[in-house]
Amino acid sequence: MRESATAKAVLQKRKWELPALRSSGRRFELSRLFVAGAVAVIAFIALCAIAPQWIAPYSPTEMLADSLMQAPSAAHPFGTDYFGRDVFSLVVYGSRDSLFIGLMSVVVGGLVGGTIGALSGYIGGWFDTILMRIIDTLMTIPGILLALAIAAAMGPSLTNIVLAVASSAIPGYARVMRGQTMSINGRPYITAARSIGVSRFGIFRRHVLPNSLSPLLVMATLGIGSSILAGSGLSFLGLGLLKEIPDWGTLLSQGRGYLTVAWWICTFPGLAITLLVLAVNILGDWLRDRLDPKRKEA
């Protein structure tokens, strides 16, 4: 004997919500703890990027000839590499470029993609069709391949890496923003604004844009993590910066040859990337919840 279809429909719908709701009280506390941790991690990495000399015990260029490839110890918590550089100091100094790539490519990609998507969705018609076919074409090329092509064509520089990573993210932002704009544009309060005589641009600026922005913001926050990964990937593939102070991706790339003899050289930069991406993602989730106007407390 089983339940009726109607009851079943309700049951199935509820099943998904069940675990989350049941423990909502405790989960709430736990999530706050995670957010606090994420903020601490990001704050620390930001500090590393701004003032690495306060944190790093050694200079990133200083080669300690007497201690090559030392395992982690009290003197060198992350060990030393094949030149005798302190890996901890390298990671601390390397944060600046990684963070820069992550933030800037999201800002550039989000602005360009968001603008394309918003205009496309709001104006519609032929404009929308043409823009979206371009975006679709861009989407058929795998992101990392596109970034690779751009980085290879334009040569290795920080700006080019940012542009390469950003352009591979543009289609995603454009799609999300377009969908959101179109859905907001169909809401009754848009008709309400039209009926009192607000101009087309006024509606876009005051109603459509503010209400469409939150998914993009959340997506951008989450995008910081993947941009850092993409930037690191480019560096790892050798299309990154060749500077005195390597970024995290370059560290990974250069350390991979020693993985069997000195695992710490590329493990710790890798962990740093993981930690930062994780922290940014947790923050992104939290932001998504906070941006829901219904949960805004007066």
Partner 1 sequence: MERLLEINDLSVDFHTRRGLLRALSEVSLTIRRGETVCLVGESGSGKTITSKAVMRLLDYENGRIAGGRIRLDGLDLTALSQNELRSLRGKKMAMVFQEPMAAFDPVYTIGYQLVETIRRHETRSKKEAWEHAVSLLARVGIPEPRIRMKQYPGELSGGMLQRAMIALALSCGPELLIADEPTTALDVTIQAQILQLLQELKEEFRMSILLITHDLGIAAEIADRVVVLYAGRVAEQAPAAELFARPHHPYTRGLLDSVAALDTEKGEKLRSIAGSIPSLSALPDGCLFHPRCPFASDKCRNEAPPLISRNGRAAACWHTDKLLTATNAEKGSARQEIELLSEKLILAEKNPSASPFESPEASPDLFQVSGLRKFYRLKGSLPGRARAHIRAVDDVSFAIRRGETFGLVGESGSGKSTLGRVLLQLEKATAGRIRFGDRELTGLRGAALREVRKDMQMIFQDPYGSLDPRWNVGDIIGEPLRVHERLTASEKKERVARLLESVGLDASYANRYPHEFSGGQRQRIGIARAIALSPKFVLADEAVSALDVSVQAQVVNLLQELQEKLGLTYLFIAHGLQVVRHLSDRIGVMYLGKLVEIAPSRELFLRPAHPYTKALIASIPSADIGAKRERIALQGEIPSPARPPSGCRFHTRCPLATARCKEEEPELRTIGSEHVAACHYPL
Rg (CA), the chain: 24
Instruction: Give the integer Cα–Cα distance in Å for 294 and 297.
Output: 8
Q: Which of residues 238-277 bind partner 1 (CB under 8 A)?
A: none
Q: Which of 168, 207, 222, 254: binder of partner 1 (CB under 8 A)?
A: 207
Do the beta carbons of residue 47 and residue 276 sit within 8 Å? Answer: no
Q: Which of residues 6-25 bind partner 1 (CB under 8 A)?
A: 6-7, 9-11, 14-15, 18, 21-22, 24-25
Query: Interface mask (CB under 8 A) for partner 1, residues 97-136, using x and -?
Result: ----------------------------------------
Residues whose CB falls within 8 Å of the CB of residue 22, separated by 6 or more in sequence, listed in order: none
Do the beta carbons of residue 111 and residue 175 sit within 8 Å? Answer: no
Q: Which tokens sit at 222?
A: 């989450």
Do the beta carbons of residue 266 and residue 255 sit within 8 Å? Answer: yes
| Nearest distance, CB of residue 180 and partner 1, angstroms | 13
Element (H, E) at 172: helix 158-185
Residue (155 or 293) nearer to partner 1, CB: 293
Instruction: Give the integer Cα–Cα distance in Å for 13 and 250.
Output: 48
| Nearest distance, CB of residue 55 and partner 1, angstroms | 40
Query: Interface mask (CB under 8 A) for partner 1, residues 168-187, using x and -?
Result: -------------------x
288 forms part of the interface with partner 1 (CB under 8 A): no
Residues whose CB falls within 8 Å of the CB of residue 259, separated by 6 or more in sequence, listed in order: 265, 266
Residue (24 or 140) nearer to partner 1, CB: 24
**Rule CB under 8 A: which residues touch partner 1?**
1-7, 9-11, 14-15, 18, 21-22, 24-25, 28, 187-189, 191-199, 202, 206-207, 210-211, 293-294, 296, 298
